[in-house]
Amino acid sequence: MRDLYLSEIENLKKHFIHLYIIIMCSILILYIIIFQFFIYNATIVLYLTGGLIILSYTYILIKGKYAADRIIHGYMIIAPLYNFYIMLTFWGNSIGNVVSLFPLPLVAYVFFQKKHTILYSIYLIVNILTCFLVYQYFDLTFPKYSRSEVIISDVFLFGFNLVVIILLLVYNNKINKLKVLIDVEDKELINSKKENTKTPILQKTAENGVINDETAEKLFKELESMMRNDKMFQKTNLNISMLSTSLNVNYTYLSKIIRCKGYQNFSNYLNVHRINYVKKLIDESNLQKLTLMYIYTEAGFSNQATFNRVFKQIEGITPSEYISQIGKKESEET
């Protein structure tokens, strides 16, 4: 399951990149219109048009060939360099364009390690400082804009940054949830390796401070009741820590009980319940009235990619193949 969670994080990163590119291209198109028809500046129009073509065409070429981290790193290096000329052009009128760079350290914080956040922050500071020195000490002439024209530009920039920051916070929350699950699974693996050198937990006695056979059976029955009767598996963010709190038992003990019952780990146990519920819904429902998306979300899966992988991992066939088999059986019976 660790690989599955890592794959989900990669998919989230790629989805963020996709949305960001769409937003960025929309902003560039908007500015091209503004500087063509409202605040005429032919040079800026050409510069923005070139940026739009390069950004969109490059993304189309690389989106399926490179990992999300490489694409993000490349963009975070190139974006400030591209923005340098625009920032320099407007420096004498407004430093609002400087603000457009502020989300980049947040991107580094969300997707990379803290050291990357520091490095990219320094990179942006150097970029801004260089722009200031060039404007101050080089005899460069740029157009002057009225206060209303500057306000229009700044409002769009702040709006753009707000949208990007909100988007980053949403994806940060989603990625952190998956990272927590990875940490839990890593701890389970470490504890499992430690336990291999000791007596199995179900053979230990209560005198040693751990659960015995009777207690383990009771806890597992309570867990099964929560899964089957309360349908706890329907919660998308369900993890072993939440269940161990409900059962008032250490999550490590609960993990060991689950493994002793023949499951690989908690994730496997959870997914078995989810897939069984999916199969039940497919068998009992009219698929012409219910969508597959409704079925897998009802079982607790957050997206179809995860559902498809887990279904095939447990059942050995894809959901569509399973549905096809059900359809054949029904047609044969009629």
Tell me, what's the pLDDT at 2? 62
User: Tens digits of per-residue pLDDT, 313-330?
Assistant: 998 999 888 888 887 777
Per-range mean pLDDT, top range of 21-30, 58-67, 185-194: 21-30
- The verdict on 27 and 157 lying in the same domain is yes
Same structural domain, 95 and 9: yes
> Considering the chain, what is the average pLDDT of its residues?
83
| Residue 188 falls inside a structural domain | no
**Domain count of the chain?**
2
Residue 199 has pLDDT above 50, yes or no: no
Task: Note whether 158 and 243 are same-domain residues.
Answer: no
- The string of pLDDT tens digits covering residues 285-319 is 766 666 788 888 888 988 888 889 999 999 899 98
Domain final residue, candidates 179, 213, 240: 179
229 lies in the same domain as 136? no
Asked whether residue 25 falls in the same domain as residue 174, the answer is yes
125 & 223 share domain: no
Kindly indicate the confidence band of residue 176, based on its pLDDT and cuts at 50, 70 and 90.
Answer: confident
User: Do residues 82 and 14 share a domain?
Assistant: yes
Q: Give pLDDT tens digits for 50-97.
A: 999 999 999 999 887 888 899 999 999 999 999 899 888 888 887 777
In a domain, 194, yes or no: no
Task: Please choose, from the candidates 150, 32, 156, the residue with its C-alpha nearest in 3D space to the C-alpha of residue 91.
Answer: 150
pLDDT, tens digit, for every residue of 263-276? 888 889 999 999 99
Phi-psi region of 41 (alpha: psi -120 to 50; beta: other; left: phi over 0): beta
The residue from 179, 214, 231 where one domain ends is 179
- For residue 295, give the CATH number of its domain: 1.10.10.60
**In terms of domains, do 84 and 36 share one?**
yes
Task: Determine the structural domain holding residue 72 and report its residue range.
Answer: 2-179
In a domain, 186, yes or no: no
Residue with tokens 């994806």: 171
Q: Is the pLDDT of residue 148 over 70?
A: yes
Residue 195: inside a domain:
no
Q: Is residue 131 part of a domain?
A: yes
Same-domain status, 19 and 137: yes
Domain boundary among 148, 179, 210: 179
For residues 102 and 242, state if they share a domain: no
Q: Is 196 within a domain?
A: no
Q: Are residues 166 and 213 in the same domain?
A: no
- Higher-confidence position of 201 and 172: 172
In a domain, 118, yes or no: yes
- How high is the pLDDT of residue 187? 65
**φ and ψ at residue 263, rounded to 5 degrees:** -95, 150
Residue 203 has pLDDT above 70, yes or no: no
Alpha carbon distance, N-terminus to C-terminus of the chain: 41
Q: Please indicate, yes or no, whether residues 18 and 163 belong to a single structural domain of this protein.
A: yes
Would you say residue 250 has pLDDT above 90? no
Task: Note whether residue 184 is domain-resident.
Answer: no
What is the per-residue pLDDT for 160? 86
